[in-house]
Structure 1
Amino acid sequence: MKVVRVLDADTYSVQMVAGVATVRLVGVDAPEAGQPFGRQATDSVRARVLGKYVLVRAEGLDAYRRNLGQVKLQPVAFGPARAVALDSLLVVRGWAWAYAPGGAAPARAGQELLARNAGRGLWKCGTAEPIRPAIWRVYTKQEKLLHWGACAW
């Protein structure tokens, strides 16, 4: 399968034999498009995955009826190269939070801690705690303006 569109940092359209399907990554939550760091996270992921071949392991549907799945970038050459798990890549680069109902997987939680400590992506602003997308979606316009800080990607 090939990534033909990046809707946001954790949601992609992939070309399959039967047509195009939208896949939402499981295990991570990236900023919304209109949220601080949303555009930057999406642009960073787009540069890495658009037009690339991926392996998708389906994991069901979410509340919005999007396909949930694990997505891995296929290596470009045969040999010792291994597929890169996009959920881990997003968390390690600071482009997304580790997330899963009931708590993040221990490996991803550790990756998020490393990204936080290194000040990558979402964690670049130091002490300012970025707002998770689930909270951002319910904020009023005024609350969003209060959190649209001066910190730049």
Structure 2
Amino acid sequence: MRLSLFVAFLFLTNVLLYAQSYTGKVVKIADGDTFTILLDNKQQKKIRLHGVDCPEKGQDFGAVAKEYISSLIAGKSVTILPTKKDRYGRIVAIVKVDTTNVNESLLRAGLAWHYKEYDNTQRWADLEHQAQHHHRKIWSAKNPTPPWQWRKRKKARSNS
């Protein structure tokens, strides 16, 4: 009985943690889909965008994606809608600046893949498809390499 209550408590705590939204000022951009915010209590939190994956540093359009997100959110107050924490301890979230959904904006601009392994939002799949159809940014390349494949190849090379 006690174990069941403890498990239920942990589940509800996790649900409540990610059900709330909060705001913070963007103080550092790591890459196209990762940045750091400063909360009102002066605590810094690393944020990873939910459901999208931008090109990595050193990958085609990686610098462009970083510049794009910088122009959208650097130094601005953003609203964070957490979905979970990742294995690196970053908060994975949907992010809004004013009325703009940052995750969707990257997809629309052709600077991110819809990370379907972690998100099944049809609207986001449609935004990616539209960017592909119009050959925007990453989709202007003949055979763009998704970042998760690029990271896997890079890791394999470093292990050999």
Trace 1:52-91 onto structure 2 (pairs within 5 A).
52-74=76-98, 83-91=99-107
| Paired residues of 1:26 and 1:87 also in contact (CA < 8 A) | yes
* Corresponding residue number in structure 2 for 1:30: 54
Q: Deviations over 1:96-148 (max 9, x none)?
A: 011132653110000001101111110123xx12111111012159x8xxxxx
Report whether the alignment pairs 1:17 with 2:40.
yes
* Corresponding residue number in structure 2 for 1:47: 71
> More helix by proportion, 1 or 2?
2
| Paired residues of 2:110 and 2:136 also in contact (CA < 8 A) | yes
Q: C-alpha distance in 2, partners of 1:60/1:131?
A: 26
Residue 15 of structure 1: how far off its partner (Å): 1.1
Distance 1:9 1:117, change over 3 A: same
Q: C-alpha distance in 1, partners of 2:32/2:47?
A: 11
Residue 86 of structure 1: how far off its partner (Å): 0.7
Aligned length: 132
* Corresponding residue number in structure 2 for 1:108: 124
Amino acid at match of 2:149: I
Of 146, 152, 155, the residue aligned with 1:138 is 152
Moved more, 87-96 or 103-112: 103-112
Residue 49 of structure 1: how far off its partner (Å): 1.2
Amino acid at match of 1:35: Q
Amino acid at match of 2:83: E
* Corresponding residue number in structure 1 for 2:29: 6
Amino acid at match of 2:75: G
Instruction: Kindly report structure 1 stretches of 4+ aligned residues shifted beyond 6 Å.
Output: none
Amino acid at match of 1:31: P
TM-score by length of 1: 0.80
Q: C-alpha distance in 2, partners of 1:23/1:51?
A: 14
Larger Rg: 2
TM-score by length of 2: 0.76
